[in-house]
Structure formats: C-alpha cells, structure tokens
C-alpha cells in the first residue's frame, strides 16, 4: 500500500531526500552518476514516483520554506525523470516513470499560455470544480483533455469519466480529442484505445478514461472501475445537459470513496443570457474556479491563418455574432433593453471618490420583493455606478427602514414609488428622508430611454440582483418572434428603483424637451 501524500513523503530523510530537494530548488545543478545511484539505492520505483507526484501536486517547499513555482516543479521533475527513464525497462513502474516523464516534459508547452494558472491550481487541488467557457478556438477542450490525462499519470488510483449529453456524438468529438491529447503528451505507447466499450486504458496501471453519454444519468450508477475510484469527470458542452440537476446526479454517483476529486465543465456560452448554463456559471462557489478564454488567448500559429481570417470576416460583417461565436460572450438574443452595461469591479478607491449619491425604492412584500438601490451618477461622463442594494421578500416597512439605517444610508434623499403614500410616510416617521416619485404620463418610457443612453456600471458582488435584472431584461416578442415595443413590467424591481433614484436628474432634461 502506498504512503499517503505528505511533505515529500516517503523520501523525507537521508541523503537521497537532500539530493532530490536540491534538484527541485536549484534546477541548474545537474546530478552526478554517483548521486543518481545513491537516490536509486535509497528509493524504490513506487517511492520515487510517489515523491515526484507529490512535488508536481505542489507539496513541499525549498529550504527555508520558500515556495516553488509550478513551472519550476515540472521542469525539475522532467529533468529528474529523464535520468531514470532507462531504469527497470521491463517493469510496470518503469513504464509509468517513462510515461510521466514524457507527459511532464510536454504538458507545459502544449497548453495555451492563458491556462497556465489554471493548470497550477489543478495540480495543487486548489478547487474541485472548474468551469471553463470560451468561444471557438479558445483551447478549453484541449486544455481539459491534456490535464485529465496528466492527472491520471499523477494519481495511480484515479480513473476518469468524460461525458456528453448524447452518447452517439462522442466518437468524433471527445474520444478523438482525448486520443489527440495522449499523442500530444507522447504517452500513446502506453495506452490501449477501445471503441466497445469506448475507453482509453493506461496499461502500466490499468487506469481508464471512460466515455459515456448522459442520455439517462441514472445509468451512470452502474459504471464500475476495477480498482480505485472515478476521481476525474469532464462534462463537455455543459450547456447541452438538461440543467445543474442532471450534472449533480452524475457527480453523486462518481464522487465516492475518496477526498480528492476534479470536475471539469467546458462549453461555448449560449447566446441567451437566460440559458441555465450561463446563469449557473455566474454563481460564485468557494470550491469552483471559473475561467473565460477566447481564440485571442491562443498562439496565432496554433490556429492558422484561415481560422484567423474567418474570425476577422465575421467581426467585420456581424460584430454581435463574432462576440458570441469567437469571444464566447452571451450577447443575448438581440432584444436586450440595456446594451450599455459595463460589468466590472467597482474599487474601494472609486467608492471613496463618489460624491453624487442617489437612492431609490420600489415597494414590495410578496410575491414582488422590496427593492432599494444606492448609486452614484457622474453627469460629466454620463455614467451610473450601482453601489449597494437591498432586495428582500416579506419584510415590513420598519424592517427595511432599519436595514437601510444600519448600513448608514440615512444621509440623503430616497425617492420612492408613489403608488404607496403610506409606505413613504412610514419611512419618514422612521427617520429616513423619503419622498414620492412624481411619475406622470410617459414617465416610465422617458426614464427607461434616459437610462438606456447612459453607461451603467455594475459590480455583481456589490449588487447581484441588479446585475441579474439589468443583464437579462429583454423586450418581449409577439407570436411571430418580432420584438414588441414597450418595456415589460416584470423582473424589473431594482431597475424601477434606479429609475426613481435618478428621477430628479432626468426630469430636468425632460422639462427642456
């Protein structure tokens, strides 16, 4: 039984460990033949492989506790493995050594530069889930296939399962992709490739990469591996699955019998921002890393002149289609009300400089929520920055007023929906400077058009519900698919709150019209 992972276990004592540490800490110092023999005398093949796997997974430090970069780890281990690759030519451990040496030498040069940090995170098991979205030529599928194969070489008890929604699409897509990956890593001599059942088998250990369709996720429960566990899963074209529930059903069957798992989900974002895959990826989860890429992140020579020219042709002819297909943006169906959104972080430095603060309220209890917004408006740049929000159900006026005061927002005028004068009066009696919006004929249309003409900056960490409303708010369509003029009165509570907050600003423009 192998030793458990640890700080360079099992080679933690003696001269052999010191020699290996020196190779990792000082890449420019070559081992002498005597030093190689000393290491080989002190370590079995399995121990050496365990040591190298631990190093590549990010365990251990140099003398003095200095961290070692993942690139340096891979380079050091590649060099060390080369010295040993002719040892024990007939043993399974020797074959695994040579396969690991070949892959370690190639993987860093085979992934697109934009994925280097992701690879480092995977190797140190920084997260369990990896959400990888991108357009055509973004290298996300190449990255995942290379990484999954490399993980199996590092984790001899691990197997992998690669899934698509429909099984009959796999042979010419993900199966071919993984066959390419084992060739790219130079490990094809140690793999058997089978079509029935569809799987790739690493002969030195018997580890498998299984390919399955999720036509019926319950069938995944019957999948068995000869030893170890299915530690790695890859959902290709995530958006084609029925939803997070379908993926969760599969993971509940595979994530058993261990504490180290990796789950990769790769896809081209669907055009609609309301698609479940796009909405799911917006969620910030502590054990998930999200990565976005496009063909612009890949070396041009990897893509070829023809690919680049096609991308440029589409950019010139139809920028929206180009942004969706090549940049991997969920650009919407073309009916987005707000095309003027700037979705980014609002820094603390910016926050300190804001001196034109406005606040608004849209009343609600249930089923519609109470919505409060605090924002900054820069008239010179015609830019609105959303700063904070309160969006709650089943809260009384005294409760929502207390929440506003607790945040220190009793410092200015709050313009409220005039449909509930009693609620406005309640806010005043509770210590808030509340006033009713003026409204009037055409006020909604004018206010919405005014907002559409300004840049709206949204930091979804500060105002997640406002982000959701503004980014998904679309014109309705008739039965023929044509857009209907007018603004839908649904899922727009914080949008209305923003409109009320800025009413006294745009009312000046309206009075001049």
Show which residues are catalytic.
Answer: 237
Helix axes 92-110, 140-154, angle to 10 degrees: 150
- Please, are residues 290 and 298 in contact by the beta-carbon 8 Å criterion? no
| Residue whose entry in the numeric block shows the structure tokens 């023999």 | 37
Q: Which of 293, 256, 18 is nearest to 144 (CA)?
A: 293
- Please, are residues 46 and 40 in contact by the beta-carbon 8 Å criterion? no
Three-state DSSP string of 334-389? CCECCCCEEECCCCHHHHHHCCCEEEEEECCCCCCCEEEEEEEEECCCCEEEEEEE
- Opening angle at CA 57, ends 53 and 63, nearest 5: 90
Residue 267: CA count within 13 A, CB half-sphere: 24
* Local structure of residue 483 (DSSP, 8 states): B
**Residue 490 to residues 37, 187, 367, 483, Cα–Cα distance (Å):** 74, 56, 12, 16
* Pairwise CA distance, residues 365 & 369, whole Å: 5
* Local structure of residue 173 (DSSP, 8 states): I
- Which residues fall within 8 angstroms of residue 169, CB to CB, at 6 or more apart? 213
Mark out the alpha helices in 255-318 (DSSP H runs): 276-282, 300-303, 305-317
Q: Which of 353, 361, 511, 352 is nearest to 434 (CA)?
A: 361
Q: What b-and-e string marks burial along 98-113, b requiring 16 or more CB atoms within 10 Å of the CB?
A: bbbbbbbbbbeebbbe
Tell me: cis bond preceding 51? Omega within 30 of 0 counts: no
- Which residues fall within 8 angstroms of residue 257, CB to CB, at 6 or more apart? 229
* Local structure of residue 286 (DSSP, 8 states): T
**Residue 61 to residues 3, 14, 16, 58, 66, Cα–Cα distance (Å):** 19, 17, 16, 8, 6
């Amino acid at each position: 039984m192998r030793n458990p992972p640890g700080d360079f276990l099992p080679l933690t004592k003696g001269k052999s460990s010191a020699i290996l540490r020196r190779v990792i800490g000082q890449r420019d110092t070559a081992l002498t033949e005597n030093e190689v023999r000393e290491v080989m005398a002190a370590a079995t093949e399995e121990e050496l492989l365990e040591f190298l796997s631990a190093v590549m997974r990010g365990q251990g430090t140099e003398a003095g506790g200095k961290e070692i970069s993942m690139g340096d780890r891979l380079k050091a281990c590649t060099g060390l493995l080369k010295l040993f690759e002719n040892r024990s030519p007939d043993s399974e451990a020797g074959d695994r050594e040579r396969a690991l040496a070949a892959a370690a030498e190639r993987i860093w040069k085979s992934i697109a530069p934009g994925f280097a940090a992701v690879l480092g995170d995977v190797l140190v098991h920084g997260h369990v889930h990896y959400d990888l979205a991108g357009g055509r030529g973004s290298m996300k599928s190449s990255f995942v296939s290379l990484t999954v194969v490399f993980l199996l070489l590092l984790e001899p008890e691990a197997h992998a399962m690669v899934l698509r929604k429909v099984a009959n699409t796999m042979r010419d897509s993900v199966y071919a992709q993984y066959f390419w990956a084992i060739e790219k890593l130079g490990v094809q001599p140690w793999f058997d490739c089978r079509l029935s059942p569809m799987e790739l088998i690493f002969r030195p250990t018997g580890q498998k990469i299984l390919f399955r369709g999720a036509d019926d996720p319950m069938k995944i429960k019957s999948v068995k591996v000869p030893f170890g566990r299915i530690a790695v899963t890859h959902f290709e074209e995530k958006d084609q699955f029925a939803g997070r529930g379908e993926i969760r059903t599969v993971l509940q069957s595979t994530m058993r019998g261990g504490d180290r798992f990796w789950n990769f989900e790769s896809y081209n974002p669907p055009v609609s921002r309301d698609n479940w895959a796009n909405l799911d990826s917006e969620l910030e989860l502590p054990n998930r890393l999200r990565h976005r890429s496009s063909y612009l992140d890949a070396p041009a020579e990897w893509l070829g002149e023809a690919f680049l020219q096609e991308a440029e042709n589409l950019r010139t002819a139809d920028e929206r289609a180009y942004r969706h297909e090549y940049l991997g943006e969920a650009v919407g169906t073309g009916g987005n009300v707000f095309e003027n959104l700037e979705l980014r972080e609002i820094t603390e430095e910016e926050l300190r400089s804001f001196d034109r603060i406005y606040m608004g309220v849209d009343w609600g209890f249930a089923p519609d929520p109470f919505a409060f917004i605090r924002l900054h408006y820069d008239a010179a740049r015609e830019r609105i920055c959303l700063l904070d929000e309160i969006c709650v159900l089943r809260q009384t006026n005294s409760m929502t007023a207390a929440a506003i005061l607790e945040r220190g927002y009793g410092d200015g005028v709050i313009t409220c929906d005039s449909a509930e004068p009693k609620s406005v009066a309640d806010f005043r009696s509770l210590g808030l400077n509340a006033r009713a919006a003026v409204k009037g004929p055409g006020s909604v249309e004018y206010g919405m058009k005014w907002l559409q003409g300004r840049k709206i900056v949204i930091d979804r960490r500060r105002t997640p519900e406002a982000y959701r409303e503004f980014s998904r708010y679309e014109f309705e369509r008739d039965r023929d698919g044509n857009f209907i003029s007018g603004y839908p009165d649904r899922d727009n509570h914080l949008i209305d709150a923003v409109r009320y907050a800025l009413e006294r600003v745009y009312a000046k423009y309206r009075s001049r019209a």
